[in-house]
Structure 1
């Protein structure tokens, strides 16, 4: 009898072991695939069962959560949603996440392992912590100045602290309220249909996800390449580039909007934006030199993240000389995001050293414990320090007595460059008005801000000065806030 009892006991022990093995298999091996199964609603319910952590500007939350008392309990809310949409993106129960809401989703939703009290806590318990906090580098006053300056016109503003890489403002216009997409139901789907079907594309983050021909603002890159390559040794000396300038290998004359460009010096060409001189210098520097300098500034980098992904700015790797001439004045296939052009201005302001731009200063747990800090890092050296000093002086001259006088600020040193980028078939479209600049307080040893502004639908003629008329006042307003005005 005892023998049979032992056999039965052994059989039940075997069954128990099999159950334990199967349970371990489900929890450890198949857990992720079960979580991702579309038929499994538990993960979705759990995701919205607790409030989402806030995104902070100037230490104050610009996002929140609303208790709906529904199965998907907490919906995202946004304070001044259109103002900060290019920074936060949206967190939607229907359409997912974008921008910071996407890049920092694990921390904001409470699933980041760094929030756990012990290593592997989430993996073992399958639980989540209260959502963490994301403190941005954005300065609210600068963001507001840029937003109000664009006043609903299509365009964008990006501002960077040159010596650190901190992004101080990131505005896209027209904008939208991300709170309209937070929940579920017909109101959300109707808002999505309306926003995605709008010809003005309010959901497009023009500051980091749209590239434009940079026009004459790109001439700063060309000047850096020409100086570093030794194409120009004396910025005040006349060049031998004649006006009219005929594009190499063609019969096409490249026009100048400015006067006095015949054999003009580099400093005159930057101050008054001579197309002929800058196109000629780009060709003489050569594709290799131009491409090398453009890459140092960040062009053709498809991996730039702030931590949201940034569209790659573009400078062709293969061109004929006539195409290189046009590319050297920011036309042909050359394209740049506003953030990229702010990086160009920042590199000049910072003595040629370009800092990697970043949008998140630090992340915190719900109780305020610091989880991580973003360390400053160098993107690279874009040019020789002497070249940077020469470009600083030329950009200052452009503001003091050139095409960018609208950007001048009393008591501060300001350097800038206007630009007008033509587009459309036969340049039939209204030009894009560009302005890039940097500002330094009179009593400071380092620049406070570098900024880039583009206005898509500028009511401007095709003169380079249009960038000074449409975009420079917006840049000035942003720089004044950076200087504490």
Structure 2
């Protein structure tokens, strides 16, 4: 008896807290799901809700308004499969278990407080426009306000309805099984969790490096760029998409306008991998801790390359990868005079009464290039839309600049190429938006896949809504 009493006392005093917090302790889940959850809010309206669960011992389950539209933002909260994205990051706030939500009585009794809410920066018009424009294509899009880093839209398709997997019933299990086995990976957030070759959109990074380094002082200065250009140490000739384009010794403006591979492959080689990587990292490449606050997958610019591989990296190939979020950040910094404001999609975390628990509306910023270089690149990007490869992004009454890209996909480029478009728009009142779109797969024939044909119209619709 004494031994048993000693053992119970030891468990309660020494291991009590660890046992209470153990993930296998069912009481924790019962408590979390014992009351309606707090909400994730878009433009003052919740896009989440709660309903009584009819199966199991958990009282409530999560519901979603326009679930497939907002799934890349909210993630999901499931009685069986846990919590992801904003649902996961702010789980304690949304369930009321965060200590900041407890009043003195809750602290004394050990009860959880009333759930709080998470206010996002998402613009519902921009989000919906991107989702509808992507339609049945496999791809993603991100829109950011360059002035404050607010993410106005984060879209990924195909998507899914988190409401259908939030419970513990057999129907939820069936839906989850189908989602898990779907080759198109609808639960993958392609906007920030799938880095792919950025193709010619990466030429903006190389152009920025050339201007910052002083290799060329102006986007209208002729470059030393033979056409064709043979990669250093190889017999591989860089071909341009348009053989008749005036790419020999083209200026940076014309090289962006016609997307001249010879110019940017040689630029990257002349600059060297260290200088290009330094500029890429200023924009956010090779950052393994890019939180918005959901952690984005790392966009990569390789460290070990020979001169030929460095040349390929200059056109966004070899082992260069980027998420749509990352390419939106590149354009965001160019639009904002060379200053990159940390992108984020949560503005405030509040308690049930609307008092602020955490204010995230004043993010950090850093200078990634000079204001003069950014101004020149904006001008060159505008030429791309006005007269070059990005004409499908034109918006009447709005200054639009952009860069198209088509990137290889699959072994020996056997897959349908990725179609990219990254852009900025600025209306007459000075309001700006930066957008990046990647279309991974579509019904278009391989020869018809292009950033201008597939991705630019999507960016246009999102920019129109952001600047309306």
8 Å Cα contact 1:51/1:130 also seen in 2: no
Match of 1:60 in 2: 45
Residues 124-174 of structure 1: CA deviation (Å, up to 9, x unaligned): 532211111111100000000000000021000001110101000000000
How far the C-alpha of 1:379 sits from its partner, in A, is 4.0
Residues 268-298 of structure 1: CA deviation (Å, up to 9, x unaligned): 0011110000111111111111010000000
Q: Residues 152 and 31 (structure 1 numbering): CA distance in 2 closer, same or farther, change over 3 Å? A: farther
Residue 374 of structure 2 is aligned to residue 388 of structure 1: yes
Q: 1:327 aligns with which of 287, 295, 313?
A: 313
Q: Following TM superposition, where does structure 1 have runs of at least 4 consecutive aligned residues deviating by more than 3 angstroms?
A: 18-23, 25-29, 36-40, 121-125, 460-463
Larger radius of gyration: 1
TM-score by length of 2: 0.95
Unaligned stretches of 5+ in structure 1? 1-14
Residue 145 of structure 2 is aligned to residue 171 of structure 1: no
Residue 109 of structure 2 is aligned to residue 125 of structure 1: yes
How far the C-alpha of 1:110 sits from its partner, in A, is 0.6
Match of 1:200 in 2: 184
How far the C-alpha of 1:368 sits from its partner, in A, is 1.8
In 2, Cα distance between the equivalents of 1:372 and 1:460?
A: 49
- SS at 1:437 equivalent: strand
8 Å Cα contact 2:142/2:151 also seen in 1: yes
Equivalent positions of 1:47-196 (< 5 A) are 47-68=32-53, 70-118=56-104, 125-196=109-180
TM-score by length of 1: 0.91
Q: 1:347 aligns with which of 330, 333, 348?
A: 333
8 Å Cα contact 2:102/2:114 also seen in 1: no
In 1, Cα distance between the equivalents of 2:372 and 2:193?
A: 33
8 Å Cα contact 1:155/1:455 also seen in 2: yes
Q: CA RMSD in A?
A: 2.0
How far the C-alpha of 1:61 sits from its partner, in A, is 0.8
Residue 386 of structure 2 is aligned to residue 407 of structure 1: no
How far the C-alpha of 1:26 sits from its partner, in A, is 5.6
In 2, Cα distance between the equivalents of 1:460 and 1:217?
A: 21
Residue 243 of structure 2 is aligned to residue 249 of structure 1: no
In 2, Cα distance between the equivalents of 1:216 and 1:156?
A: 17
- SS at 1:207 equivalent: helix
Match of 1:30 in 2: 15
In 1, Cα distance between the equivalents of 2:427 and 2:280?
A: 29
In 1, Cα distance between the equivalents of 2:92 and 2:389?
A: 47
Residue 257 of structure 2 is aligned to residue 260 of structure 1: no
Q: Residues 186 and 247 (structure 1 numbering): CA distance in 2 closer, same or farther, change over 3 Å? A: same
In 1, Cα distance between the equivalents of 2:215 and 2:64?
A: 52
8 Å Cα contact 1:132/1:366 also seen in 2: yes
Number of aligned positions between the proteins: 462
In 1, Cα distance between the equivalents of 2:71 and 2:167?
A: 16
Equivalent positions of 1:421-460 (< 5 A) are 421-444=407-430, 447-458=431-442, 459=444
In 2, Cα distance between the equivalents of 1:95 and 1:394?
A: 48
Residue 189 of structure 2 is aligned to residue 217 of structure 1: no
Of the structure 1 ranges 256-265 and 55-64, higher mean CA displacement relative to structure 2 is found in: 256-265
In 2, Cα distance between the equivalents of 1:40 and 1:229?
A: 58
8 Å Cα contact 2:145/2:151 also seen in 1: yes
In 1, Cα distance between the equivalents of 2:12 and 2:124?
A: 46
How far the C-alpha of 1:28 sits from its partner, in A, is 6.0
In 2, Cα distance between the equivalents of 1:268 and 1:435?
A: 17
Unaligned stretches of 5+ in structure 2? none
8 Å Cα contact 1:113/1:122 also seen in 2: no
8 Å Cα contact 2:32/2:97 also seen in 1: no
Q: Residues 150 and 229 (structure 1 numbering): CA distance in 2 closer, same or farther, change over 3 Å? A: same
Q: Residues 46 and 378 (structure 1 numbering): CA distance in 2 closer, same or farther, change over 3 Å? A: closer
Residues 345-377 of structure 1: CA deviation (Å, up to 9, x unaligned): 100000000011111111111122222210323
8 Å Cα contact 1:111/1:122 also seen in 2: no
8 Å Cα contact 2:206/2:314 also seen in 1: yes
